[in-house]
Amino acid sequence: MKIAVMGSGGIGGYVGGRLAEAGEDVHFIARGRHLEALKARGLKIESPLGDAALPDIHATNDPAGIGPVDLVLFAVKLADTDAAAVALAPLVGPQTRIVTLQNGIDSADMIARHVPRDQIAAGIIFIAVHIREPGVIAHPGGMHRMTVDAMDGDATMAAFFSACDRAVGIEAIATDDPERTVWRKFIALAGFSGVTTITRLPIGATYANPDTLAFMRQLLDENIAVANASGQDFGPGDAEEIVKLFASQPGDTKSSMLVDLENGKPLELPWLSGRVHQLGKELGIATPANSAVWAALCPYTKGPYY
């Protein structure tokens, strides 16, 4: 398959790198020092599931130089979605599929302002990865699972799932209910990112304190209440599954939002706890825990607060 990775940071770099390692024709779209390193030295992945060194990858900041592809992995930060979706045009032909691996519940709708909606496969990924240094993606272990819309057995999507099956360190699951899949991750991630970022603690330390863990449970309960008021159907058992899911991760695992805060980068807060806060006001659902996260962190949404 010819694959373009729009947003070659932690997630895009890891998934795209694993697919390139498996023999797929992968083209990385990146910028800045990371792009310079990819061009000069290639891509490295450091992971307990197996390291990878890919010295001869395709990397560019110009999608027009790539041309139409079979599939786009769309993995930019949410604040960059509109600009990145506009830049998709040279990559997209009538049969191209765009797989979203972004956070929140708004990604597919945002991309669909610029690309036909029926070519977008909404998806999620649970994995802790980050750029350790330009050109190097670090994965400390734990989850490495994607769930993506099967698009009713679409041939391109079937080829994508087959490529993931051949790759090291990727578990890809096809779903016929992408909306519920995206909402479930939103519930989980808004809780996980909210509690770790407001406390500046990794998940192990968060769970070690009963009051902090209770705060995360409150976040999850509010997230579920907002989801159900929006037409979904989740219950207390879903919250407990999420608590167990994150408890199974390495204790030093941090949310990507906490990593961004520590590195002075913009936060995806408006699409996570901020989105729950907003929906709560619109739907008449009390969200005091999420509203507290929003109030405490919103000054950092665009980066360091001065």
The pLDDT tens digits for 145-174 are 999 999 998 999 999 999 999 999 999 999
Q: Report whether 114 contacts 86 (CB < 8 A).
A: yes
pLDDT at 142: 84
Residue identified by tokens 């890809």 is 172
Residue 13 identity: G
Portions of the chain given CATH number 3.40.50.720: 2-176
Which residue from 293, 294, 274, 128 is spatially nearest to 212, judged by alpha carbons?
293
For CATH 1.10.1040.10, list the domain ranges present in the chain. Answer: 181-300
pLDDT at 306 (0 to 100): 58
Task: Provide CATH code, domain 181-300.
Answer: 1.10.1040.10
For 200-243, what is each residue's pLDDT tens digit?
999 999 999 999 999 999 999 999 999 999 999 999 999 999 99
Is 2-176 assigned to CATH 3.40.50.720? yes
Tally of CB atoms within 10 A around 289:
25
Tell me how far apart the terminal alpha carbons of the chain are, to the nearest angstrom: 46
Average pLDDT over residues 294-298: 97
Q: Are strands 97-100 and 130-133 parallel, antiparallel or unpaired?
A: unpaired
8-30 pLDDT, tens per residue?
999 999 999 999 999 999 999 99
Kindly report, residue by residue over 96-150, the tens digit of the pLDDT. 999 999 999 999 999 999 999 999 999 999 998 999 999 999 998 888 999 999 9
